[in-house]
Amino acid sequence: MPRRLGQVDESKGLAILEAARHALAERGMGASIEDIARRANVSKQTVYNRFGSKAELVRILVERRVDEITAHLDSPGSGDGPEEALAGYARVVLESIATPSSIALLRIHIQGAAEMPDLARTFFETGARTSRARLAAFLEGETRAGRLRVDDCALAAEFFAGMVIGSHQTGRLLGVDSDLAPTAIDRIAREAAGRFVRAYAA
């Protein structure tokens, strides 16, 4: 059973995760624990003791990314309102799509889904499904507070995610869409959030 990171060894655990992110982006699931350990300057046994398996490393990497993406939704109503929170969420989603390591990780699971269905399922449950569920919970909170009027928050969350991601993710996966500069990301995020909030105005 993998151990939880403690305060004393947190920096070493973070180094392993960062090494795993780079190794997986470069080599996919062919990246070895030995390679990850070498990059993190730790022993192979240390990696196993802390995380248990390569699959667990992938799960934690995805979980951490989802936490970053949904951070803007954690305090509904505390900032500038739902439009700003949604724009922040959208911006981080698009930045993730524009990041080579994130796209590489997604490619890994698409390519290996048939051979590793359990890992692909974990990737989906920890990633996209969790992100959408948190977005739906945010919309429920905004509806209860009277700032939005959403009848089916789960469906609306899918609508918003679709508006944001559009064809950008497919283009990046195929290596044919590189037009996700910071200015483009900001414009898409604000436009999607503005249209969504107007559509579901209270």
Give tens-digit pLDDT for 149-188: 999 999 999 999 999 998 888 888 887 766 688 898 999 9
Site of tokens 């939880």: 4
Q: Residues 118-127: pLDDT tens digits? A: 777 877 888 8
Indicate if 100 and 5 belong to the same structural domain: no
Q: What is the pTM of this model?
A: 0.79
What's the total number of domains in the chain?
2
Q: Which of 18, 109, 31, 27 is nearest to 65 (CA)?
A: 18
Q: Which domain holds residue 7?
A: 1-52
Are 48 and 64 members of one domain?
no
Residue-averaged pLDDT of the chain: 85
For residue 191, what pLDDT is reported?
Answer: 96
Cβ–Cβ < 8 Å for 23, 61: no
Task: Give buried/exposed letters for 165-198 (b at 16+ CB in 10 A, else e).
Answer: beebbeebeeeebeebeeeebeebbbebbeebbe
Residue 201 β-bridge partners: 148
Looking at 52, 68, 94, which one is the last position of a domain? 52
38 lies in the same domain as 99: no
Q: Are residues 15 and 99 in the same domain?
A: no
pLDDT > 90 in the chain, percent: 45
